[in-house]
Structure 1
Amino acid sequence: MNTSNIKHMVVFKLHAGANNANAEQFLKISAEELTTIPGVEQFEVLRQVSAKADYDYGFSMVFASQAAYEAYNNHPVHTQYVAERWMKEVSSFQEIDFQIFE
């Protein structure tokens, strides 16, 4: 059983709303920027399809270890992304991190 992998997920709503050109641009740019950070594996952009959920989109990614996850969080591309894009364009979010049991 491998307990070192971490799946980092965040679900969110945008100030721009969902399913429009501004939202699509945010998702595209986010994927381009975040996947350049070393250690990011299996990056996915997700769209909510359940009427029961409060969020419209999600990002999911895997890190090989806690150290890789911490390096991602502290990486200059990530900190700049959070300050210049995420904090300005995301209206609400929930972040969850799981250890993957294989």
Structure 2
Amino acid sequence: MNGTSIKHMVVFKLHAGKNNVNAEQFLNLSADELTTIPGVEQFEVLRQVSPKADYDYGFSMVFANQAAYDAYNIHPVHTQYVAERWLKEVSSFQEIDFQLFEK
């Protein structure tokens, strides 16, 4: 990852809870949908293992630059995913976007 690329991460809890069929279906369908969007690189589905955290799952992905990230945010697959799946199935979340710190 270079200094202009962006690592986009989101951690979240589901209304369905964790470690059940509904949660697994959400994770799998999310990966299937979001990875079809141009510019999404290094997509990962993550399971929280720390008892100190309030969230159960996470997604991590990398964009080559701000333009790729902006295109992702307005892509029809992403906006439909947010409206039809994310807003209905996610109970709470936190987003964070990182760029590599360079001295």
TM exceeds 0.5? yes
Question: What TM-score do you get using the length of structure 2 for normalisation?
Answer: 0.96
Residue type at the aligned position of 2:41: E
2:3 maps to 3
Matches within 5 A, 1:40-51: 40-51=40-51
Partners of 1:6 and 1:101 lie apart in 2 by: 11
Please state whether the residue corresponding to 1:55 is helix, strand or coil. coil
Please state whether the residue corresponding to 1:49 is helix, strand or coil. coil
Question: What TM-score do you get using the length of structure 1 for normalisation?
Answer: 0.97
Percent same amino acid at aligned positions? 86
Partners of 1:100 and 1:81 lie apart in 2 by: 28
Residue type at the aligned position of 1:83: A
- How much does 1:100 deviate? 2.4
Partners of 1:74 and 1:94 lie apart in 2 by: 19
1:12 partnered with 2:12: yes
Partners of 1:63 and 1:2 lie apart in 2 by: 10
Structure 2: gaps spanning 5 or more residues: none
| Residues paired across the two proteins, number | 102
